[in-house]
Chains A and B, each alone.
Chain A
């Protein structure tokens, strides 16, 4: 079997961004549940936060292949 430990490390490293993305969407769902009319304003903010948190996982995958 082939493979490298990098991938194992990357799998562990995704815990951080995974938690972050979960927290962002939890906050978004909370906000919409409390005030449904605010969905239009919250949605781009939530997706921007999601994209920024996800960037860490993406830098991780790039490093997992490079190192």
Chain B
């Protein structure tokens, strides 16, 4: 019998974590007692769930932090003001100004700075003790954020070039003529208008989702191995060591995803505002 088959038999009774673990019941209910409602043939939980509270909490946290960081506005900044200014300056200079362009980037700084810190706090909820659920691993959160970004970059483009001018700007690559345009225009429309928000949302969603599932797998698998006892205890301890290492990796990924989301939004805004060549 092969090694894989043997280990598969020994691991009986272990239920690996899956997408169903992300479908949290409303607060105060279990999955069996929770009230549901029908939407397009699927049953959804009705009520306030943990990710909803996290969204509200993150908005309050970001607001309170920047309110207190910017309240004094001293010439020689204190600790709090220094951290706030460093975070704000990082997003404004290295993300917004470099990608939107130095002429009209200030218009978008409030939106993009708050978007960055909102996503950052929501991602770090995935590792925060006691919460440990990344909000953006729910599809609704990621798609709503991407929808806001999509509305912003398209509306500023339409505002600048006019509706048909903007469509031409986004779908007609400059310097190309002839019948190849028949192929290129639908492709560019598909890529720039339709696929962009979907990949923007899926990138955040899938990273948070996969990271959280990986953490659950090592934590639950380690627990299962430890309770099996005997020679499995060593493997269980190794699993917990891996869990901690992946936590460190996740801290990097969570920051990077917030950064990439805002960077791409800024790039799309910059692209929509760019002048004709």
Q: Which A residues are closer than 8 A to B by beta carbons?
A: 1-3, 40, 44, 47-48, 50-51, 54-55, 57-59, 61-62, 65
Contacts and interface: CB of A to CB of B under 8 A. Distances in A.
Interface in B29-51: none
Q: Give the interface centre of A47, A51, A62 by most chain B CB atoms within 10 Å.
A: A51
B10 to A, nearest CB: 9
Contacts of A57: 206
B259 interface: yes
B14 A1 contact: yes
Given A1-B14, A2-B15, A3-B16, 12 more contacts: A1-B11, A1-B16, A2-B16, A44-B263, A44-B267, A47-B259, A50-B260, A51-B260, A55-B202, A58-B206, A59-B199, A61-B209
A36 to B, nearest CB: 17
A47 B95 CA distance: 11
Contact of B203 (A1, A2, A44, A58): A58
Contacts of A48: 263-264, 267
Nearest to B18: A2
Most A CB atoms within 10 A — which of B202, B206, B260, B264? B206
B98 A44 contact: yes
Given A1-B14, A2-B16, A59 B98 contact: no
Contacts of B54: none
Given A1-B12, A47-B263, A48-B264, A58 B199 contact: yes
Judged by DSSP, the binding face of B is helix
B251 interface: no
B114 interface: no
Given A44-B99, A44-B263, A61-B210, A51 B11 contact: no
Nearest to A60: B206
Nearest to B99: A44
B129 interface: no
Contacts of B14: 1
B91 to A, nearest CB: 13
Contacts of B199: 55, 58-59
B264 A62 contact: no
A50 B98 CA distance: 18
B75 interface: no
Given A1-B8, A1-B14, A2-B16, A62 B263 contact: no
A18 B14 CA distance: 29
B230 interface: no
A44 B206 CA distance: 22
Nearest to A10: B210
Contacts of B98: 40, 44
B155 interface: no
Contact of B207 (A40, A44, A58): A58
The 7 closest A-B pairs by CB, nearest first: A58-B206, A1-B8, A55-B199, A51-B260, A61-B206, A58-B202, A1-B11
B130 interface: no
Nearest to A55: B199
Contacts of B16: 1-3
A22 to B, nearest CB: 16
B19 interface: yes
